[in-house]
Amino acid sequence: MTADHRRAAVLCGIGTWLPPRVVTNDELARQLDTSDEWIRKRTGIRERRVIEPGMSTSVLAVEAGARALKSAGGADVDLVIVATTTPDHPCPSTAPEVASRLGLSGVPAFDLNAVCAGFVYALATAAGHIAAGIAERVLVIGADTFTTVLNPEDRTTAAIFGDGAGAVVLRAGTADEPGALGPFDLGSDGTGADLLIVPAGGSEQRGSGRPLDPADVHFRMDGQPVFRNAVARMSESAGKVLDNAGWRLEDVDRFACHQANARIIGAVARNLRVPEERFLLNVDRVGNTVAASIPLVLGDAAAAGELVPGNRVLVTSFGAGLGWGSTVLTWPELVVE
Ligand code: COA
């Protein structure tokens, strides 16, 4: 086989951060009509992290970003992308402020909103910038404080989501190096937009002239069709990206699925006929952290020694939009906290 010297984005740093406050299922059950048993059985989640007053998405993003830069050995990046659906403000985007607080004023920085698929979309966007020669080193952060858009009285969504951030640094390298990302498979289906939605707060509601219904400012989810779509889309996308990469399912050592629900991950494993042990899991401790989910599960697994250099990894995610995306990489030598 000849070496592949095409210019590619190579993973060279990773960092994660969770707000310190832990909310257990029992604590939720003291406020809502639910139970630890119900939540664990239906979702696999035991606890999640939640921000405290004074924190916001940028705070989490800066913490994770700083750790990723340290892991990469320095802050000499020339692009910052923050994948988030819960920016600090509707305008401006959060990334420039995050970049400045990381000492990166002057560096181009923008937000990317693809909800739970946001981190994989941001990886693809960063990889495209690197492949085109627009950037050499990119800081990609996934950060969300989704608990800020939940209806405190909705037991279904309160049980599922948590806050967190994870980040990686990508550098220009070649496609045959460990850590090289790609190919990618990305997709969307806007006919499912209503399945996971915050109805108010955007131009549609503001332009309607109708008074705001307070219920519309919160996130709503139609759980069962979302479950079915998540399983189908991640399974299909995983198959496509493997075909594009020329890998077989048995070549994959670790599957890093979007951490939405342990039952969804189990169903993807059954669909693909892969033993569940090869699927990384931290949803039990963090819940669904939206754009932070993929870097958090990768960072946690690397820190725990469940993901080691040389492992072939398939990353796949799905979320509101609907949107989904997958990629593959061989795990490189990285400094991990
Ligand atoms: N505690 C107790 N009962 C709950 C509950 C909770 N936290 N949340 C929902 N219920 C109730 C429902 O109200 C319903 O009660 P009813 O029968 O009296 O109407 C009952 O449990 C069953 O609800 P159902 O929606 O059929 O349960 P389910 O097995 O589909 O599980 C989800 C619900 C939300 C866990 C599941 O649909 C799911 O995981 N969906 C995907 C969500 C997701 O991953 N979203 C993010 C995608 S990126």
- Per-residue pLDDT of 4-17, as tens digits, reads 779 999 999 999 99
Active site residue 258: yes
pLDDT of residue 337: 81
| pLDDT over 70, % of the chain | 99
The CATH code for residues 184-330 is 3.40.47.10
Q: In Å, how far are 158, 165, 308 from 58, measured between CA atoms?
A: 22, 9, 30
Taking the centre of ligand 1 as the mean of its atom positions, its distance from the CA of residue 33, in whole angstroms, is 12
Q: What is the DSSP string of 218-252?
A: S-EE-HHHHHHHHHHHHHHHHHHHHHHHT--GGG-
User: Quick one: average pLDDT of 112-138?
Assistant: 98
Quick: pLDDT tens for 182-231: 999 999 999 999 999 999 999 999 899 888 888 899 999 999 999 999 99
User: Quick one: average pLDDT of 21-26?
Assistant: 98
- Among protein residues, the one with the nearest Cα to ligand 1's atom 44 is 260
Active site residue 288: yes
Q: In Å, how far are 101, 222, 243, 310 from 1, measured between CA atoms?
A: 45, 48, 18, 18
pLDDT of residue 150: 97
Angle of helix 293-303 relative to helix 118-131, nearest 10 degrees? 90
User: Quick one: average pLDDT of 244-256?
Assistant: 97
Pocket of ligand 1, candidates 196, 224, 265: which has the most ligand atoms within 8 Å of its Cβ, to mutate? 224
Pairing type for strands 254-257 and 312-319 reads parallel
> What radius of gyration do the chain's Cα atoms show?
19
User: Quick one: average pLDDT of 14-29?
Assistant: 98
Domains of the chain by residue range: 3-174, 184-330
User: Quick one: average pLDDT of 304-326?
Assistant: 98
Q: How many CB atoms lie within 10 A of CB 31?
A: 12
| pLDDT over 90, % of the chain | 95
pLDDT of residue 1: 52
Answer whether 165's CB lies under 8 Å from 63's CB. yes
CA 85 to chain CA centroid, Å, is 11
pLDDT of residue 3: 77
| Lining residues, ligand 1, CB within 6 Å | 34, 38-39, 42-43, 116, 155-156, 159-160, 221, 223-224, 226-227, 230, 260-261, 264, 288, 318-319
pLDDT of residue 2: 67
Using left for φ > 0, alpha for ψ between -120 and 50, and beta otherwise, residue 103 falls in: left
- Among protein residues, the one with the nearest Cα to ligand 1's atom 29 is 42
Active site residue 257: no
State which fold the 3-174 domain adopts: Peroxisomal Thiolase; Chain A, domain 1 (3.40.47)
Quick: pLDDT tens for 29-69: 999 999 999 999 999 999 999 999 999 999 999 999 999 99
Pocket of ligand 1, candidates 156, 268, 293: which has the most ligand atoms within 8 Å of its Cβ, to mutate? 156
Average pLDDT, the chain: 96
pLDDT of residue 10: 98
> What DSSP character marks residue 144?
E
Among 2-6, 102-106, 311-315, which stretch is predicted with the lowest mean pLDDT? 2-6
